[in-house]
Amino acid sequence: MKGLAAVLLVLLTGGSYARFPLAERIRALLAEQMGEVKHLEVRLHTLSPAQKIVGDLEEATIALRGFDASRLPVKSLLPHPKERILKGRIRRLRVEGREAKVQDFLFSSLTLEVTDLRYDLLGLLARKEVLLTDFGTSRVEARLGEEELLRYAREKLPSIEDIALDFQGGSPGRVVVRGKATLGLLSLDLTLTTGLKVVEGHRVELHQPHLEAGGIVLPPAMAERSLASINPILDLHTLLEPDTPLVLDRIEITDNEVILLGHLEFALAASGSGKEGNHAWAYRALRRAAQADSP
């Protein structure tokens, strides 16, 4: 997970290690980290030449399409003692993803946004690290459309035929799954009506499922056993690498998609300054990629 660290290194040093434009250098670093990507674009907006020298960026946007989201280097933030010497700041870092694949799931869109990132750069010289000392807010949004959820249901319920989905948007929203089950010569219409909930910040499970077979409502215990193959729907601990700092907060169901909302939760480290509330993390910003372009 060195990719984002190398990107931040280039951002915060104003691209001094690059022999071609800064945005293109960042794009090359990410392409090396991410592997196969259909589309990758980097857009930067600086405040002024003077501020750029000390590593101050107004906004950095990374746009991707057709990529493996599990390779996004968001895990590069690790605890480290803080040293306040030279400062840098990115007011808004945003990743905009389309067709984001995470193992067996294909999200129609994936957005990560962090505001007001602040850095101390002494570690860049002393230990080849960039220290993240504070940040404002973070937001993660992932969208699953009807086609992807229908594919998931067909894969997990191979014995059910003619599966169809309906979305009932609202608060709380519900998903309705319909299909047919064959028992010998008997064909039964099945209807599952369920909400979705976040459990322990990393699992998406069925919420108050209501299962009917041939017009008969199944008891909760029987319904739970019947639905074991699709519950939980999603578990980040199995989809992402260990210790990825992504936490799910809630789920919204609209008339045509399911939206997962969360945030990035980085581990706190000892401040060293004694001031309560000062965050301290470290990017393991090895300069291998940057030094490869140095004379």
Give me 206's structure tokens. Answer: 């069925």
Residue 20 CA to its chain's centroid (Å)? 30
pLDDT attached to residue 121: 54
| Helical ranges in the chain per DSSP H | 3-12, 22-34, 49-53, 122-126, 146-156, 220-226, 236-239, 288-291
- Number of CB atoms found within 10 A of residue 276's CB: 6
pLDDT attached to residue 260: 93
Q: pLDDT digit string (tens) for 143-152?
A: 999 999 899 8
Give me 31's structure tokens. Answer: 């392409």
Question: pLDDT tens track of the chain, all 295 residues?
Answer: 344 555 555 554 444 433 346 677 677 777 777 788 888 888 877 655 544 444 566 677 888 888 888 777 665 433 333 333 345 667 788 888 899 888 778 899 999 888 877 765 555 455 445 556 667 788 999 999 999 989 988 888 888 899 999 999 887 899 999 999 887 778 889 999 999 999 988 889 999 989 998 888 888 888 888 888 888 888 888 777 666 778 899 999 999 999 999 998 754 333 333 333 333 323 333 233 333 333 3
Residue 234: which of 69, 57, 30 has the closest Cα? 69
pLDDT attached to residue 22: 62
CB 181 within 8 A of CB 188: yes
pLDDT attached to residue 259: 94
For residue 24, which phi and psi values (nearest 5 degrees)? -70, -35
pLDDT attached to residue 284: 30
Distance CA 102, CA 236 (A): 9
DSSP annotation of 268: P
DSSP H/E element including 206: strand 203-213
Helix (H, G, I), strand (E, B) or coil at 225: helix
E strand segments, 48-150:
56-68, 77-79, 87-102, 105-120, 130-134, 138-145
pLDDT attached to residue 2: 45
Distance CA 282, CA 203 (A): 28
Distance CA 227, CA 289 (A): 48
CA dihedral 1, 120, 293, 94 (to 10 degrees): 60
DSSP annotation of 70: G
Q: Which residues contact 198 (CB under 8 A, 6 or more apart)?
A: 204, 248, 249, 250, 251
DSSP annotation of 240: S
CB 112 within 8 A of CB 72: yes
Per-residue burial over 122-139, b if 16 or more Cβ lie within 10 Å, else e, is: bbbeeeebbbbbbbeebe
